[in-house]
């Protein structure tokens, strides 16, 4: 997991050789209060190749259920899906720490079930750690995994796997009761040994309080620029979808650019302008 030198002569799937030392989970944990952590989602080898030079952490999120498979929520995502995509992202990266989401149903039933799922992810993907959702109720599971050598990222606030219990995707922490509970959740997960915590969809002032209250880095998504880092779904920030959450900043309009490129291709095929002389093979003399 430290240094890779890959042959690119035979396959477009392999990244260009750029051997470097991969970041580690302890290095990310030690970034608390220092340079902000850059984190994005990745689900494929090619996207990992493009993101890796710029990111500290690549998250193989269960959001792939919606982004890749067109599912209505993350709930139907399976462990096998996460492992397949996790392995692809590890193959496409040299530098970033790769963290894989534990899907719904893969860890809640018992500590043993959580370890079995996490061990499969670690062994079959080569990832550096796993992420699981939940607050104080999941702290014993986090402690169980960490004590057995599995780095864990926590996830509090708006937890998409609990969308049915939460009643939707609204921001969390607006009431005093919920505000206090989220701070308690963060402290419990941090005290259990989490290497970092994702705080999603929480009121800005609450995100700042959470960041100050725990010793591990807090990575915001729809939270505050005062968190220890930021994460977004890559396809959202690149503008591949027409609808995105309020907290997403679009850095490009790839959907529009792809549509325009495919439209040009379609026009050239129909007019027989493509393929041209540069794209066909002449007979040998």
Active site residues: 200
Q: Are 119 and 125 in contact (CB under 8 A)?
A: no
- Distance set, CA 35 to CA 29, 91, 154, 155, 225 (Å): 12, 27, 20, 21, 12
Question: How many CB atoms are located within 10 Å of the residue 108 CB?
Answer: 16
Q: How far is residue 211's CA from residue 224's CA, in Å, rounded to a whole number? A: 9
Q: How far is residue 73's CA from residue 67's CA, in Å, rounded to a whole number? A: 10
Q: How far is residue 128's CA from residue 126's CA, in Å, rounded to a whole number? A: 7
Tokens of 267: 């026009």
Q: How far is residue 185's CA from residue 210's CA, in Å, rounded to a whole number? A: 9
């Amino acid at each position: 997991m430290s240094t890779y030198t890959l042959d690119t002569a035979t396959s477009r799937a392999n990244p260009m050789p750029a051997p470097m030392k991969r970041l580690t989970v302890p290095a990310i944990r030690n970034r608390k209060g220092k340079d902000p952590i850059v984190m994005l989602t990745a689900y494929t080898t090619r996207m990992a190749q493009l993101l890796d030079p710029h990111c500290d952490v690549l998250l193989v999120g269960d959001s792939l259920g919606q982004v890749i498979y067109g599912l209505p929520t993350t709930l139907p995502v399976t462990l096998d899906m996460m492992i397949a995509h996790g392995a692809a992202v590890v193959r496409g990266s040299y530098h970033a720490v790769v963290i894989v989401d534990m899907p719904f149903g893969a860890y809640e039933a018992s500590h043993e079930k959580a370890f079995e799922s996490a061990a499969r992810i670690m062994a079959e993907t080569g990832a550096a750690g796993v992420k699981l959702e939940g607050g104080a109720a999941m702290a014993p599971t986090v402690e169980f995994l960490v004590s057995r050598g599995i780095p864990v990222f926590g996830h509090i606030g708006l937890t998409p796997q609990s969308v049915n219990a939460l009643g939707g995707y609204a921001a969390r922490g607006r009431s005093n009761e919920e505000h206090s509970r989220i701070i308690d959740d963060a402290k419990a997960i941090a005290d259990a040994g989490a290497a970092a915590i994702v705080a999603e969809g929480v009121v800005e002032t609450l995100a700042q309080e959470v960041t100050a209250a725990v010793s591990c880095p807090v990575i915001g998504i729809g939270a505050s620029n005062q968190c220890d880092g930021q994460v977004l779904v890559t396809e959202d920030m690149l503008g591949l979808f027409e609808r995105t959450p309020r907290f997403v900043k679009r850095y490009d309009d790839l959907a529009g650019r792809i549509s325009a490129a495919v439209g040009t291709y379609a026009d050239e095929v129909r007019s027989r302008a493509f393929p041209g002389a540069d794209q066909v093979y002449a007979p040998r003399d």
